[in-house]
Copies of this chain bind each other. A is one copy, B any other.
Amino acid sequence: MTSADAPRPQLKIRLIHLDTGRENVAVMSRRSKALRPEVFSGFSRVEIRRNAKSVLATLLITDDDALVGPDELGLAEPAFRRFGEPAGTFVTVSPATPPDSLDAVRGKIQGRTLSAAEITAIVNDLTRYRYSDMEIAAFLIGAARFMTSDELLALVSAMASVGTQLRWDRPIVVDKHCIGGIPGNRTSMILVPIVAAHGLTIPKTSSRAITSPAGTADTMEVLARVDVSVAEMKEIVAACNGCLIWGGHVNLSPADDILISVERPLCLDTREQMVASIMSKKLAAGSTHLLVDLPVGPTAKVASALDAMRLRKLFEFVGDHFGIAVETITTDGRQPIGNGIGPVLEAQDVMAVLGNDPKAPADLREKSLRLAAHLLEYDPHLRGGAGYARARELLESGAALKQMQKIIDNQGPSTCHKDLGTLTAEVTAERDGVVSAIDCLQLNRLARTAGAPIDKGAGIRLFKKVGDRVEAGEPLYRIYAFDPAERELAVAAAKLACGYTVDDAQTFREQVM
């Protein structure tokens, strides 16, 4: 089907200013001089070639010569960038033969167990953007049905192999990862300076928000540059024992970036996929000891102790196989951690904790110390059980703050705006009582609607947490935004569902009992 030698008309490529995200998209004229576009419609995907170089793309048709003429082939921005040839280059277009690895995807849908070679081929084709969105969804849903232990190991291994692989010449490289879902919860920015100040190596890479109002990388970016190269990262870690940078820039797991971008809109989040995503990144990052934070709560990703245990066993199994010492810790995931939701507000919480500000959120401080204590125990020279005291000592003495300042200096200054949103709105309690529940999902959504993480200073500041007494009309939280339309959208959404449940004190006491 794709004999490159057959003589056939060529088209000149042209950049179409459309951002189509992960999917490659090509645009052809309905009067195309190469092949008639109707011929392609049954094939749904086309292969664009110049000599040995090729990309697969989804084809759209146009009647507008101003967009794409009959002797042209339009490539949307991502496809143009990935093809890497200048505008005007002549290319051939043919119906795409689907990637061979799609046979394995179909097998998976039909319930077959895949070999390591098949899983590697799928991951390689995914990473080379040879799958359409539908095909990625097919793999994820097929794999969501069941995945054997061997398949999971093969997936972790394949995902860890397609990107950058960091190696450190130190015997202990510690790392901490939270499975996410809890607003606020910026413990990494507190425990990394504590652990680094102690002297352990902790080269932390974090993600940017995808569907949440802030990732650790978004929040750290308020304080310092986070898009550093692999070479710079190594220098920073050599100087500071640790860093707090964006993992996407060092390309640790390109396959994971693609899979997550399809999992999120479909709300697919199986245990196996979660473990594959995290462990492949840690394997690529060269971590030797990993602490996984599993928040448990009704609106958290893990809803029960049983689910947490299953997840723990899976992390341990994969960790043992690849020689990473994995420990999991279940934490309180019933409500946000800290008071801020959104990059600037969260950065304020973090700096208040590091600065030993008496008004700093106690839950964020306590949780960070607890996690840091676990990490410090990986130091063979520390007396067993001394982790917590050591973590608190490093925090209270100001050593952690000093280490954070050093990390910030080494990563370089941030260029983003640090102001808080100037348009605010307070959401108030409708009745007297006690806050009995806070919906993490709804608060995430509201903060995003208000503009976070695009606007660093947009988000939500909480005034009340679970167990606090409130009076009717008293503010529960304040929304910060810059854009009037976004403020209105967030206020309207909060009116429909504010995310807080307020019960009378008696009912709340009964619930707690």
Question: Which residues of A come within 8 Å of B, CB atoms?
Answer: 1, 3, 5-9, 17-21, 27, 30, 34-36, 38-39, 41-45, 60-64, 66-67, 76, 94-95, 102, 106, 109-111, 132-138, 141-142, 144-145, 209-211, 262, 264-268, 445, 448-449, 451, 454, 483-486, 488-489, 491-493, 495-496
Contact = CB atoms under 8 A, between A and B. Distances in A.
Q: Lowest 3 A-B CB distances belong to which pairs?
A: A17-B64, A3-B492, A8-B485
Contact of A454 (B39, B454, B491): B39
30 contacts: A3-B493, A5-B492, A6-B491, A8-B488, A8-B489, A17-B67, A18-B60, A18-B61, A18-B67, A19-B61, A34-B485, A35-B485, A35-B486, A36-B486, A39-B449, A39-B454, A44-B265, A66-B66, A95-B449, A106-B267, A106-B268, A109-B268, A110-B144, A134-B137, A134-B262, A137-B138, A138-B141, A138-B266, A141-B142, A145-B145
B6 A492 contact: yes
A97 to B, nearest CB: 10
Of A6, A20, A27, A41, chain B has the most CB atoms within 10 Å of the CB of: A6
A211 B42 contact: yes
A109 B3 contact: no
Given A34-B485, A63-B17, A134-B134, A42 B209 contact: yes
Of A3, A138, A268, chain B has the most CB atoms within 10 Å of the CB of: A138
Given A18-B60, A106-B267, A42 B210 contact: yes
Contacts of A136: 134
A45 B262 CA distance: 13
Nearest to A111: B145
A20 B145 contact: no
Contacts of A264: 42, 44
B18 A496 contact: no
A8 B490 CA distance: 12
B134 A3 contact: no
Contacts of A144: 109-110
Given A35-B486, A42-B448, 6 more contacts: A39-B486, A106-B267, A133-B133, A133-B134, A134-B262, A138-B266
A45 B266 CA distance: 11
A6 B134 contact: no
Nearest to A108: B141
Contacts of A39: 448-449, 451, 454, 486
Contacts of A64: 17
Nearest to A94: B489
A343 B38 CA distance: 16
Contacts of A211: 42-43
A147 B111 CA distance: 14
B7 A488 contact: yes
A266 B135 contact: yes
A19 B138 contact: no
A495 B17 contact: no
Contacts of A266: 106, 134-135, 138
A215 to B, nearest CB: 11
Of A7, A39, A94, A109, chain B has the most CB atoms within 10 Å of the CB of: A39
Contacts of A6: 488-489, 491-492
Given A109-B141, A265-B134, A3 B483 contact: no
Contact of A141 (B7, B20, B35, B137): B137
A328 B374 CA distance: 67
Contacts of A20: 60
B1 A493 contact: yes
A496 to B, nearest CB: 7
A336 B5 CA distance: 30
Contacts of A485: 8-9, 34-35
Nearest to A64: B17
